[in-house]
Structures are given as C-alpha cells and as structure tokens.
Chain A
Amino acid sequence: MNTPAASMASAGLWTLAWRRLLRDRVGMVSLALVCGYLLIVIAAAAGIVAGDWAREAGVNYASPVFVGAGDSAPQAIAAVPAAPAVPSEPGIVDPLAGVLAELRQNLAAAPPEPPRAATLPLGGDKWGRDVLKKAVKGTETSMIVGLVAALLAVAIATVMGAYAGYYGGRIDDFLNWLYSVFTAIPYLLLVLAIAAVLNQKGTLTVILILGLTGWTGIFRLVRAEYIKHRSREYVLAADAVGASDAQRMFVHILPNVSHVVLVQLSLHVVLFIKMEVILSFLGFGVGVDTVSWGSMLNESQAELILGKWWQLAAATVAMAVLVTAFSLFTDALRDALDPRLK
C-alpha cells in the first residue's frame, strides 16, 4: 500500500490500477452490483432486512404479486375445514372422546392466526414463507460462505506458497508433495469425502471444507511469484539492511505479489459460492435452519411440477446476477492490475 507521500511523488501500482478500473465501464457496473449485494448481506446479517424470513406470512404457495392471487387464494381460505360431524354410533363408547373434546377446546382457545396474505412480492413457498426474504437470506449465507472460505483458502495458499517459493529445498518439496496429493483427487470427490467424514451440517463446516481443500491452484501461482521475486534486488537490499526472512517474505515481497492473490481471491469467491449451492442442494451444506440458494433450489424441484416456479426463479436470478457481476469484476480487476495480460 502506498502512503500519501508516495502517491504524490508518482502514482503507485494501486492508484494506476484504480484509474484503469475507473475507465472500465463494465468493471464499474459489476463492482457497483457486487457492492449492492454486500450491502444486502450486511443488512441481512444485522437483522435489518429479512429477519423474519421463517414467518409463514402468506398462504401456502402464495403467488407473486405480479401474477395475481389466482386459484391459490380460495384453497388457502378453506385450509381449516370445519370439523365434520362424526356420526355418533349408539352403543359404542369412543375411548378418546374425552381427549378429543379437550383438544377441541384448546384449539378454540388458541389465539386466531394472523390473516395470511394471498400474494407476496415474489410469491411464497410450501409453507407460505416469503420467497423474496428467503432469497435475501440465501444471499447472506452464500456470500458469507464464499467470502470467508475464499479468504481462508487464500491465506493458507499464500503462506504455503511463500514458504515453498522463498525457501525452496525441503520445504518446497514437502509442500509440492502435499499439492500433488490434493490435486490427484478430483475436487468435488475430495469435498464429498470430507463431508462424509465430518458428517455434520453447518455454515462453519462448509467454510472449513471449501477453505481447506481449495488452496491448491492459488498455492502454485503464489509459489511461482515468490520464486521470481526472491532474488530481485529489492529483496537483496532488504536482506542487506537486516530484514529477517519473515519480514522479507511478508513485508517486502507480499505487496508485490498481492495483485495475483487479489485476483485469485475474487475468482475463488465465485467458485466457492457455486460449490456451496451444490453442497447445500445435496444436503451436505448448511443446516436446515439456514436458507441457502442451494436449499431453495432443492425445494423448488418439487414445486416446479406443481407449476410453482417462483422460488426457482428467485434463487436462480439472485445467484446468476451475483456470479455474473463477480466474474466480470474479476476480469476487470485482472485487466486493471496487469495490463500486459489481455
């Protein structure tokens, strides 16, 4: 990072990259979209929006407002049918009659349910929960998993790549061996195997699985950068003024390879979001009390056959817009940070 004094003298790498990014219209639009999503995530995590996603606000399979109530409304109003009069047969004593009467009494005494809406902004699911709120909560889950897992993977890969590339020798051999072991197993298979062993759902589990398996590609790139940089003059100069190995690795070289790391971070957020959706869909992902785009897609499979397409559409669009924007932003970031590539 450059200090104000340095940027006054001449524009640094980051200033130049930022200027190039500002000129990239597609990049700026996608950056704005990603920031919009981030705001939603922060708002959802703070409980400002969609805190009550689990409330059954509408009738079962409430239609989206723009479709209209349609035929789902009458069915819902008649949801609690009047208890049919049981023909009392003379001579046979119902042993449960007392219990039944008590139950009826309790039911009558219970406060009436708040009226359910016939339509919701983007429709409702099987239990009448608001699909829009579920999509917002799903955004929160997926983005948090994607971001944290990518940060974890990048941190692991950067430290390992730095040690392997900077020291070479035995450490390099060992870490390369670890790399070859992890890459010998197809990625999805490795993730599933670990999910099978851990055998517990949860956001943290997914983050750990993805982060601990997803470092391989970044490790190779960071390692190659460190090999390139370790004998450059500025590193030798740092050595001459008495910087320790760790200082040279993480204070002097790291800022010079951080553009590679940043682009990889961005790439992996997208990759991990996609993986989280698949894992949650299969039931190995986040827990049942958490919404994810994956669990929404899972529910929508059965709904589609009934003609209730809105949950599928909401999850698909929410995910596609974010992933497209993030991918385009990554491209723009790469172009801005390394103009030689194209």
Chain B
Amino acid sequence: MTAFIIRRLLQFIPTLLGVVLLVFILFNWIGGDPAYLLAGKISNPEQIANIRKQIGVDQPYTVQLWIFITQIATGDFGVSWATNEKVSTIFATRLIPSLTVLLPILIVGTLLAMGLALLVAYRRGSLTDRAIMIGCTVGQSVSILVYIIVFQYVFAYQLGWFPVQGWGQDFWINLLQFSALPVIVGVAVSLAPDTRLYRTFFLDEMHQDYVRTARAKGLSESRVMGVHVLRNAAIPIVTNVMIQLPALLAGAFLIERFFSIPGIGREVLLAVERSDFPLIKAVTVYVAMATLVINLLTDILYKAIDPRVQLK
C-alpha cells in the first residue's frame, strides 16, 4: 500500500510538469505580451510595467518558466490584473461560497439519483422504467442554460419562492436561502445522466450469483436490493462521485454566474472576460494538482470499500 502511494506520488511529477508547461505555453507564449492586452484596461503605465516585470516578459522563456514555477511553489501569483486583489486572497474568499452550493448538489443529487436508479433497475422493462429512461434522455438533451433560465424565472421571479440571486455574510442564510434554488437547479441537471449511469451499475449487480443466493435463502426483496445489491453497486458509484470532485473545485461556472454566487467558477468566468491571466493560471494549476490527489484518494478508497481490488 505504502509502496503504491509512493509510486503514484512520483508519477505526479511528470504530469504536473506537463500541466505547468501547457499553462506556460498557453499564457506566456501564445498569450504574448500582457502590455497589448492591458493597454485599454489599465490606464497607469507604471502598473503595466510592473506586471511585465513580475512575469519577466523581457527575459528569455527559461527564466519566465522559472518565475512561473516559483509562483506555483510559493502560492504567490501576485495580484489580479483586473482588480489588484491578491490571487491567494481571491482563492481563500471564493472557496467557501462555491462549496456551500456545490457540496449539497453533489450529496443530494447522488442520493436522489441512486434511489431513482434502484427503483427503475428493480422494475426493469416496466412502464415506469421506460418512462423514466425516456424522461432522462430528453432531460439530458435540454441545455443546462435552459434549466437555469427557466427555474430562475419560474421559481424566483414569478412565484417568488426563492431570492432571484444574491449572497450574504451569514453561512446559514447563504446555505438555506441563497443556495436553495441553485442546488435545485444543479440536482435537476445532474439527475438525468446520473440516474442512467447508476441504473446500469445496479443492473450489472442484479444478475450476479450472490443475488440469487440471497433470494434463495429467503431474504426479503428490500433486503436483497437495499443491502446486498446497493453495497456492491456503491463501489462504481463512489468512483463516479469522486471523479466529479475536481470539476466541483473549479466551480459550476454557469450556476455561480446566474445566481451571483461569489465563488471560484464565477471568478474564473470574470477572469476569462477580462483577460486576467494570473487568476486563470493559478486556478488551472491548483485544480490540476487537486485532481491528481483526488484520483489517488479514489484508488485508495476503492481498495477500502472493495477488498478484492488489487492496487498495482
């Protein structure tokens, strides 16, 4: 186990270097001299000169790359080109709002999809199954944009059940009031694909020998499905949920944008609009790091819940 973890951690190095190189090529080489980008946006020439000095535009690319690596290692990406706020501060203050919305989406969405998938898998081929599956296919075809626009219009604007958008200082008000509709939208969007996927996981398990054995020894259907099948199908489901975590860190861009949630996703969109490169570079590199760590944790968790798995 320890050897496995060490080996995987060593494998991180080339991948991370690759990510750093990719981001570097994109922003320092293709992106070019920030002076052109910023000419219309920052009026103070001294500030532009400062920014150019900071990323070393005049230096050869090797020096620029070294500056970039130092920035990553120290976590100091300087200040945002647009707002002059420190990039590290932006991260620290935007993470909590993002998670306040996204963790409930993940938890509620997964539980709902599991329940629904278990139901349709158990009634495979029935009218319920087919109706829900058709609903899922159609539901998946509607753009996430439409879900957000329509839900916001109907539930917040027309019916007034939720605030249209906004964010406060108090965690509980944020969670219960401002996050409610974004969470509903997020769950509605993820429900269709997740239900389809989890249904196949359940179907795979339902034809295993142990299910027949459990039925043969007279267990109730609810015990067979709710305990035996559910626990085995939980293994791929947990993996699927873990895979979604990195995207969660980068934020649900659209949900945060529409509901004015001051999270990381909204910040990234703003940064893309304003060509605020330091922020995008930082987000990309750190989310990539988090992805690698989460992938490793997924493998370890996989081993923990399924002792048959051999880590290699």
A interface residues with partner B (beta carbon < 8 Å): 177-178, 180-190, 192-199, 274, 277-278, 281-284, 293-294, 297, 300-301, 304-305, 312, 316, 319-324, 327-328
Q: Is the CB of B19 within 8 A of A185?
A: yes
In the complex, per-residue mask of B265-287: 1 if CB is within 8 Å of any chain A CB, else 0: 00011011101010010011001
Q: Is the CB of A320 within 8 A of B145?
A: no
Chain B nearest CB, measured from A293 CB (Å): 8
B292 lies within 8 A of chain A by Cβ: yes
Q: Measured between alpha carbons, how far is A300 from B287 in the docked complex, in Å?
A: 33
Return chain A residues, CB-CB under 8 Å to B150. 312
Return chain B residues, CB-CB under 8 Å to A278. 143-145, 254
Residue of B nearest to A281 (CB): B145
How many residues of B sit at the interface, in one of the four size bands?
A: 35 or more
Chain B nearest CB, measured from A305 CB (Å): 7
Residue of B nearest to A313 (CB): B146
B26 lies within 8 A of chain A by Cβ: yes
Candidate in A196, A199, A300, A320 with the most chain B CB atoms within 10 angstroms: A196
B141 lies within 8 A of chain A by Cβ: yes
Q: Is the CB of B143 within 8 A of A301?
A: no
Q: Is the CB of B271 within 8 A of A196?
A: yes
B153 lies within 8 A of chain A by Cβ: yes
Closest 5 CB pairs of A and B: A181-B18, A323-B141, A196-B272, A184-B288, A324-B141
Add 18 more A-B contacts to A184-B16, A189-B247, A297-B143 (CB < 8 A). Answer: A177-B18, A180-B18, A184-B288, A185-B284, A188-B253, A189-B250, A193-B26, A194-B26, A196-B272, A196-B277, A197-B31, A198-B30, A278-B254, A304-B153, A320-B138, A322-B141, A323-B140, A328-B137
In the complex where A194-B26, A196-B280, A316-B146 touch, is A283 in contact with B273 (Cβ < 8 A)? yes
B240 lies within 8 A of chain A by Cβ: no
Q: Is the CB of B143 within 8 A of A274?
A: yes
In the complex, per-residue mask of B227-251: 1 if CB is within 8 Å of any chain A CB, else 0: 0000000000000000000110110
Q: Is the CB of A294 within 8 A of B280?
A: no
Q: Is the CB of A282 within 8 A of B287?
A: no
Chain A nearest CB, measured from B58 CB (Å): 20
Return chain B residues, CB-CB under 8 Å to A187. 247
B73 lies within 8 A of chain A by Cβ: no
Return chain A residues, CB-CB under 8 Å to B272. 192-193, 195-196, 284
In the complex where A193-B280, A282-B269 touch, is A188 in contact with B141 (Cβ < 8 A)? no
In the complex where A184-B292, A327-B137, A327-B140 touch, is A193 in contact with B149 (Cβ < 8 A)? no
B218 lies within 8 A of chain A by Cβ: no
B15 lies within 8 A of chain A by Cβ: yes
In the complex where A184-B291, A186-B247 touch, is A192 in contact with B268 (Cβ < 8 A)? yes
B9 lies within 8 A of chain A by Cβ: no
Q: Measured between alpha carbons, how far is A305 from B31 in the docked complex, in Å?
A: 39
B66 lies within 8 A of chain A by Cβ: no
Return chain A residues, CB-CB under 8 Å to B288. 184-185
Q: Measured between alpha carbons, how far is A319 from B146 in the docked complex, in Å?
A: 11
Chain A nearest CB, measured from B3 CB (Å): 20
Residue of B nearest to A312 (CB): B149
Q: Measured between alpha carbons, how far is A181 from B19 in the docked complex, in Å?
A: 5
Return chain A residues, CB-CB under 8 Å to B125. none
In the complex where A189-B284, A196-B275, A277-B145 touch, is A305 in contact with B137 (Cβ < 8 A)? no
Q: Is the CB of B23 within 8 A of A193?
A: yes
Return chain A residues, CB-CB under 8 Å to B304. none
Return chain B residues, CB-CB under 8 Å to A301. 149
Q: Is the CB of B141 within 8 A of A320?
A: yes
Return chain B residues, CB-CB under 8 Å to A190. 284
Chain B nearest CB, measured from A147 CB (Å): 17
Return chain B residues, CB-CB under 8 Å to A195. 272
Q: Measured between alpha carbons, how far is A193 from B31 in the docked complex, in Å?
A: 11
